[in-house]
Amino acid sequence: RAPATLETATGPALTADGERVAILINVADPSELSDVPVAICDGIGLARTELMFNAPGAAGIGTSGGTGTGGGAGLADEETQLSAYRRLLAWADGRPVTVRTLDAGGDKPIAGYTVPNEANSFLGMRGVRLSLKHPDIFRVQIRALLRAAAEGEIRVMVPMVSVPSEMRQVREMVAAAAGELAAEGLAHKVPPVGMMVEVPAAALVLEAFDTDFVSIGSNDLTQYVMAASRDSADLHDLADPADPAVLALIATIVDKAGRRAVPVSICGDAGGDPAIVPALLDAGLRTLSVAPAAVGRVRRAVNDYRSAAA
């Protein structure tokens, strides 16, 4: 699967003004990583975990086979998840590994877990909404993440957060899981817990959220700002992450995060588009998480960038 264009340059990515820009990678399937030299990036900015629950041959939710703690019949159990997170940590070799909690629903259905035939699935039960509705399943993922965090630089990222109470509930579940693991004598650590900002409501009142970091999900943010579905060919031109309205909201997010010294990055596809990278850097972003195959072109776009202020 090695993309012919895979980056080989290593070391910090610098703008033409000499400013450092961190470039991390997005991973959907850990097997992608075997061809990627870790030295080309600054870590994993988004590890999707949907595949663990939905891959052919994986223990899917609602099927038989799961044996882990409290998982219910058949989901990827705690030990299976822990070993997947360990593989990411081993690959990252000390760099941060940002694991997104299960982001099912919308364009990512999981049989037996997501709500079938929702009239408007992108506005329905997705991401953290589903996780909070299925605390038994969410709890297993949180336990596995806390155990992995004892062994490396895990960061937990929560998708589709819309209101502050969702982050509060997640934190309560994290604290409860830490208590359980302590009582069981299992090594664990509470990692940074951050949120994706991909719902305009969260972007507009970001200061109200208890979050250790934020990562902008420009794919969903764009469709919600533009009221244009991300998967419609007819609306492709309208669902433009470089639309001034989307860029204005991205700049707002970066500003609000900066005022609270909350680290901010982008992990949507816009970050991997060299035509959009200058606008993202203008908006103040200095951490981009992109597909492995995009690292080279993003690095070159960063190298060419000179800030208007400089």
Residues that bind Mg ion (CB under 5 A): 198, 217, 220
DSSP letter (8 states) at residue 107: T
State the minimum distance, in angstroms, from the CB of residue 77 to Mg ion: 26
Query: Which listed option, ligand PEP, Mg ion, none, makes contact with residue 218 (CB within 5 to 8 Å by class)?
Result: ligand PEP
Pick from 15, 98, 131, 218 the residue near ligand PEP by CB under 6 A: 218
CA-based nearest residue to 241, from 198, 202, 305, 284: 198
What are the distances in angstroms from CA 49 to CA 124, 135, 180, 240?
Answer: 20, 17, 23, 26
Other Cβ atoms within 10 Å of 183 Cβ, number:
8
- The angle at the Cα of 265, spanning 82 to 306, to the nearest 5 degrees, equals 140
Q: Is 220 assigned a ligand-binding role in the annotation? A: yes
Burial (CB count within 10 angstroms: exposed 0-12, middle 13-18, buried 19+), residue 42: buried
The helix or strand, by DSSP H or E, that contains position 75, with its residue range, turns out to be: none
Complex with ligand PEP: residue 46 or 298, whichever CB lies closer? 46
Q: Does 104 bind ligand PEP (CB under 6 A)?
A: no
Q: What ranges in the chain are assigned the alpha helix state H?
A: 50-54, 78-92, 127-133, 135-149, 164-184, 200-204, 218-226, 244-259, 277-282, 295-304
**Residue 103 found at the interface with ligand PEP (CB under 6 A):** yes
- Assigned token pair, 232: 């419609």
Q: How far is the CB of 217 from Mg ion (least distance, A)?
A: 4
Cβ-Cβ contacts under 8 Å for 305 (sequence gap 6 or more): 15, 16, 17, 277, 278, 281
Q: Which residues contact 183 (CB under 8 A, 6 or more apart)?
A: none
Q: Which positions from 45 to 64 touch ligand PEP by CB under 6 A, shown as an x/- string?
A: -x------------------
Of 7, 42, 78, 220, the one binding ligand PEP by CB under 6 A: 220
State the nearest-atom distance from the C-beta of 193 to ligand PEP, in Å: 17
Q: Which two tokens stand for residue 59?
A: 């223990």
- Choose the stretch contacting ligand PEP; rule: CB under 6 A; options: 149-157, 186-194, 216-224, 251-259: 216-224
Could you tell me the smallest distance in angstroms from the CB atom of residue 198 to ligand PEP?
5
Measured from the CB atom, the residue of 77 and 198 that comes closer to ligand PEP is: 198
Cβ 28 to Mg ion shortest distance, Å: 12
267 is catalytic: yes
Give the one entry of ligand PEP, Mg ion, none that residue 272 binds, where binding means its C-beta sits below a cut-off of 5 to 8 angstroms depending on kind: none
**Using rule CB under 6 A, residue 273 touches ligand PEP:** no
Would you list which residues are annotated within the binding site for phosphoenolpyruvate?
48, 100, 219-220, 230
Would you tell me which residues interact with ligand PEP (CB under 6 A)? 46, 103, 198, 217-220, 267-268
Catalytic residues: 267
